Amino acid sequence: MKTVIKYLQLPFIFSEEKLVSEFNALSAQWIEHFNKAHYDGDWSALPLRSVNGSLTNVIPESDSRFEFRDTELMGQCPYIKSILNNFPCEQRAARLLKLSKGAVIKEHIDAELSYENGEARIHIPITTNPQVEFFLDNERMDVKPGECWYMNFNLPHRIANLGDTDRVHLVIDIVVNEQIREMFDSVASDKKKTIAEKERFSPNDKKAIIAQLKALNTPAAMQIVEQMEAEL
């Protein structure tokens, strides 16, 4: 039976002090997250790498026709730039994502966003607090500043910041190649959580995913909708 990786802590520990220092030095205007149906409160982003290097586009397009470039903000973050160099592959969006105190991200999935589908989303916490409730496929994730995590967001996930401080993560989307496969395979198996692929989604789950993708109404989303509807 084919399995997929649920989450994986990668073998990097980055400097919390340097991450916080660069984050605090940025004075740019945070951009409200585009998917407003999925959250309550303040969920916002700063683009460090985006389509054409735009400072206003925080949509992490997965279509290979888009060209991603560093934004001006990345030029102010040499330590964060050095972190990206740890991933020898094509890199797409890189963002700072802030979930302000009291904000909630409702349970949802990011369809086809997984290592097995060729694109991995990396999370590096910068600031957090013990009252952040971060659930991936109903398992609570305990992630600390400076750690480096891959998580399969093709699975249901939700986050609630019940603490008194904001939660900020560096989020990097990478394209899986042979070097990334070797990196993932090199991590000890006891640090990797796998699940059976056939158990991931029921027909009702798939219908809910299709509805979310239709709401996005992007060319990439509608292409996935067509494929998924053909499988029902």
CA atoms within 13 A on the CB side of 98: 16
Q: Are strands 104-108 and 157-161 parallel, antiparallel or unpaired?
A: antiparallel
Q: Cα–Cα distances in Å, from 2 out to 34, 115, 116, 119, 200?
A: 34, 14, 11, 18, 11
Mapping DSSP onto H, E and C, the string for 136-177 reads ECCEECCCCCCEEEEECCCCCEEEEECCCCCEEEEEEEEECC
Annotate 195-220 with DSSP letters as a single string.
EEGGGS--HHHHHHHHHHHHHH--HH
- pLDDT score recorded for residue 196: 54
| Res 213: pLDDT | 75
Can you give the pTM of this predicted structure?
A: 0.82
Mean pLDDT in order along the chain per 10 residues (232 residues): 84 96 92 85 95 87 80 97 96 96 93 90 97 96 97 94 97 96 82 60 72 75 72 68
pLDDT of res. 188: 64
pLDDT for the residue numbered 198: 46
Out of 1.10.1040.10, 3.20.20.100, 3.40.50.300, 2.60.120.330, the CATH code matching 3-199 is 2.60.120.330
Q: How far apart are CA 136 and CA 66, in angstroms?
A: 29
Amino acid 186: pLDDT: 87
Give span(s): CATH 2.60.120.330, the chain.
Answer: 3-199
